[in-house]
Amino acid sequence: MHLNLDSNEKIKGYYDSPWPAECGGPRRQKIPRSPGLNISNGEYLSQKTRANGEWNVMMVLRDPGEVFLMGNNHINSTEKYGFLEKIDPHSLECISRSPNLPSGGHTWCGGVVVHENGYLYLNNGNYCYKLDPDCKVVSSKKLPQNSAYNSFLIMKDGNLVMKNIEHAWDAKSKFVILEPEFLNQVADEIAIDENSMGRIAMDIDTQGTQWIYVPGRDTFFRYKYEKGSLTLDQSWMPKYRTLNYEEQSFSWDSCISDGGCWFLDNGDNRANVTIFSTRPFGQDLPARGSVFQGLSSSPQKLFRVDIKNDKKLEFVQPFDKQRGSIFSPPAFDPIHKVAIAFDTGNGLLAGLNYSKDLGFKKLWEKPTRISMQMVMYSDTREIAVNDFRTGYDNIVVFDTITGEEKGRVPTESTTANGMFLSPGWERDVFYCSIGAIARAFIE
């Protein structure tokens, strides 16, 4: 089995579960610690949708059969809040629910994680909450910046590392570190040299050192975590945005896999301009479809930066289309050496072989408007994605090597956004979007 896979075993700091956090773990590899779907001839996907009218963000798994849904208010709601639900894994109905959790007035997608101590930690807006498995609030913390924060990393010592999101060029995002018992701040905030939109990732090297990767407006940064403090690694600061802003915009999240930091550029779109034009964020409703309207003219690019040498920065343009956009990260299957890249704005998805000697080789391309964070099943060579090109968002499963479509089912969701797909307990996939959640399962 390949080294440095979050799916190999229990992740230090995280609950012993196949999917205790968004993307399956801190490296954001999106590979669950559970078997793949393994869809065979004669099998097909069915679905169950539950409409709830809220902005559903992600689901995580705790003990066998336990599924937790995290979300916040619909973006056009006057009340601003987050919530946690424990849901039935088949019917999707609510078993228990938290009270509506204040967000500091912000409407933005935060996150939830299951800590190895058994509690769930939820971030919405500029608040952090500790909840028990019955969704009851144990403690809460207002975070220092009047900004939305985008989720958590759990470190080996149990501390929580968070970062606020900033869209304005003259702003700087900041790290904050909380201890897990009472959510007290561990140390002073650490300012990042650039504003940062994307979520942070974490890798543990062979010496056990923890490194946090953060996307800036122009540059990727890396910080060493040790004893509740973060130190910038000045030897690793690859500058990826080399064109003017009309031609190229920022990256969202990254994926740390097989010795590389993988990410996409051109992350800005019309919806961001509206959402981040107010403070608190999300006071104005963006136009429908504006998340697909990219602001940059250069074709979408997939990047790989070697985590040992920032001068080894490689990129490829998988699609020859302008005005694309993304708001979720790529994935790389380290077993089969296949990267999954996409252009949400232009509705394109591709698989590319990568080797350190030969670079990138495009394997396949499909018309697919993927906007969500995918699930990658390395053992069965499958990826689960969404595809929003009709009136209803579809859940689709592809073969990562050939691009063959192995299953497709339309949900009853009429909106697609950059939220998270998650694996279930029984050869199934959970789906979250604005207004609805869904489950795709095999029959």
pLDDT tens digits for range 93-121 = 999 999 999 999 999 999 999 999 999 99
Amino acid identity at 301: K
DSSP 8-37: GSPPTTB-SSS-SBGGGSTT-----SS---
What is the pTM for the complete model shown?
A: 0.97
Nearest to 56 by CA among 68, 42, 44: 68
The H or E element spanning position 275 is helix 270-275
The pLDDT, as a whole number, for residue 2 is: 46
The H or E element spanning position 273 is helix 270-275
Structure tokens belonging to residue 47: 């679905």
Q: What is the arithmetic mean of pLDDT over 55-67?
A: 98
Cα 78 from Cα 97, distance rounded (Å): 20
pLDDT band at 314 (very low <50, low <70, confident <90, very high): very high
pLDDT band at 122 (very low <50, low <70, confident <90, very high): very high
Query: How far is residue 96 from each of residues 54, 80, 130, 292, 401, measured CA to CA in Å?
Result: 16, 20, 16, 35, 41
| pLDDT tens-place string over residues 259-295 | 999 999 999 999 999 999 999 999 988 888 887 888 8
Using the predicted structure, report yes or no on whether residue 3 has a pLDDT greater than 70.
no
What does the CA dihedral 184, 217, 22, 189 come to, rounded to 10 degrees?
-10
The pLDDT, as a whole number, for residue 418 is: 84
The H or E element spanning position 274 is helix 270-275
The pLDDT, as a whole number, for residue 287 is: 87
| pLDDT tens-place string over residues 359-409 | 999 999 999 999 999 999 999 999 999 999 988 999 999 999 999 999 999
The pLDDT, as a whole number, for residue 76 is: 84
Cα 224 from Cα 231, distance rounded (Å): 5
> Domain 6-442, what fold?
Methanol Dehydrogenase; Chain A (2.140.10)
What does the CA dihedral 213, 214, 215, 220 come to, rounded to 10 degrees?
-50
Using the predicted structure, report yes or no on whether residue 1 has a pLDDT greater than 60.
no
**E-strand stretches of 280-404:** 302-306, 309-316, 331-333, 338-343, 348-355, 359-367, 375-377, 382-387, 394-399
**Residues of 202-219 as b/e, b for ≥16 C-beta within 10 angstroms?**
bbbeeeeebbbbbbbbbb
Cβ(372)–Cβ(396) under 8 Å?
A: no
DSSP code, position 136: -
| pLDDT tens-place string over residues 147-193 | 999 999 999 999 999 999 999 999 999 999 999 999 999 999 999 99
The pLDDT, as a whole number, for residue 285 is: 83
| pLDDT tens-place string over residues 213-233 | 999 999 999 999 999 999 999
Using the predicted structure, report yes or no on whether residue 28 has a pLDDT greater than 80.
yes
* Mean pLDDT estimate for the chain: 96
DSSP 261-272: EEEE----BHHH
Cβ(85)–Cβ(97) under 8 Å?
A: yes
- Rounded to an integer, what is the distance from CA 437 to the centroid of its chain? 17
Cα 26 from Cα 128, distance rounded (Å): 18
**Percentage of the chain lying above the pLDDT 70 cut:** 99
The pLDDT, as a whole number, for residue 438 is: 98
The pLDDT, as a whole number, for residue 324 is: 86
Cα 294 from Cα 250, distance rounded (Å): 11
In the β-sheet with 309-316, what is the strand arrangement from edge to edge? 255-257, 260-264, 302-306, 309-316
Using the predicted structure, report yes or no on whether residue 11 has a pLDDT greater than 90.
yes
Query: What are the residues whose beta carbons fall under 8 Å from the beta carbon of 316, sequence distance 6 or more?
Result: 301, 302, 341, 352, 359, 360, 362
Query: What are the residues whose beta carbons fall under 8 Å from the beta carbon of 157, sequence distance 6 or more?
Result: 13, 227, 228
Q: What is the arithmetic mean of pLDDT over 51-66?
A: 97
The pLDDT, as a whole number, for residue 436 is: 97
**Which residues partner with 83 through β-bridges?**
71
Structure tokens belonging to residue 245: 């802003």
